[in-house]
């Protein structure tokens, strides 16, 4: 077999359906950059775009047996990225709608005592999860979310780059979202933005 980088998309697709890992690597190398740019332009968020493209390739490998070797591989990948980008937008819309309704609920005057108890329990749970973050991430997150410092202020205070600070805050939020679940996480986000 000649080198994989000389294979046509059609040949790679056929090899992929047979579970050929080198063919998958070649597809990844050939299309990752283009798909990332495509997703990034639409999402205006490089981290989100990376997630979308990585998930796409993960799905491509898991569903490799279902690929049509006679189909257009690049068109298939671009369509898949577009659909995932649309999913991100749809999810954000649902999340925003949910946040709005939760905010409305929290704004209502008749907040009962049992709600205050639940709120205290929720606050304790959130604090517990923040304490469980890696030390540097926890320090950055507390400065950002509780001391309301900007990424620039934190980077100057701790001698780190702004990008590092931004990444650490984003990773902390991702960890908290996965550990706390959507409802508690959204309530937490609402609280820190009040």
Return d(Cα 94, Cα 155) in angstroms, integer. 33
Tell me what the pLDDT averaged over the chain comes to: 79
Between 73-107 and 182-192, two packed helices, what is the crossing angle to 10 degrees? 60
Closest CA to 85 of 51, 59, 61, 62: 51
Return d(Cα 4, Cα 11) in angstroms, integer. 9
CB 51 within 8 A of CB 88: no
CB 4 within 8 A of CB 23: yes
pLDDT tens figures, 81-118: 888 888 877 776 655 665 565 555 555 544 454 556 66
**Taking 70 as the threshold, does the pLDDT of residue 185 lie above it?**
no
**Domain 109-192, CATH among 3.30.9.10, 3.40.50.720, 1.10.10.10, 1.10.357.10:** 1.10.10.10
More confident residue, 112 or 174: 174
**Taking 90 as the threshold, does the pLDDT of residue 144 lie above it?**
no
3-class state of residue 161 by DSSP: coil
**CATH topology classification for 4-90:** Rna Polymerase Sigma Factor; Chain: A (1.10.1740)
pLDDT tens figures, 2-60: 588 888 888 989 998 998 888 888 889 899 998 999 888 888 888 888 888 988 888 88
Domain boundaries, the chain: 4-90, 109-192
Tell me what percent of the residues of the chain surpass a pLDDT of 90.
5
Q: Is the pTM of this model over 0.75?
A: no
Q: Determine how many CB atoms are found less than 10 A away from the CB of residue 50.
A: 15
**Taking 50 as the threshold, does the pLDDT of residue 168 lie above it?**
yes
């Amino acid at each position: 077999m000649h080198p994989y980088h000389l294979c046509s998309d059609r040949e790679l697709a056929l090899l992929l359906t047979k579970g050929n890992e080198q063919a998958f690597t070649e597809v990844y190398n050939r299309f990752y950059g283009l798909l990332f740019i495509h997703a990034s332009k639409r999402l205006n968020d490089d981290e989100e775009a990376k997630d979308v493209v990585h998930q796409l390739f993960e799905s491509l490998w898991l569903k490799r047996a279902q690929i049509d070797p006679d189909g257009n591989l690049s068109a298939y990948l671009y369509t898949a990225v577009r659909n995932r980008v649309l999913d991100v937008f749809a999810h954000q819309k649902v999340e925003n709608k949910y946040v709005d309704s939760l905010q409305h609920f929290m704004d209502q005057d008749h907040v009962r005592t049992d709600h205050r108890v639940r709120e205290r329990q929720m606050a304790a749970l959130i604090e517990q999860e923040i304490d469980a973050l890696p030390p540097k991430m926890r320090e950055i997150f507390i400065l950002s979310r509780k001391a309301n410092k900007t990424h620039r202020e934190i980077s100057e205070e701790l001698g780190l780059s702004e990008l590092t600070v931004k990444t650490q805050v984003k990773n902390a939020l991702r960890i908290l979202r996965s550990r706390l679940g959507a409802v508690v996480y959204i309530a937490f986000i609402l609280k820190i933005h009040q």
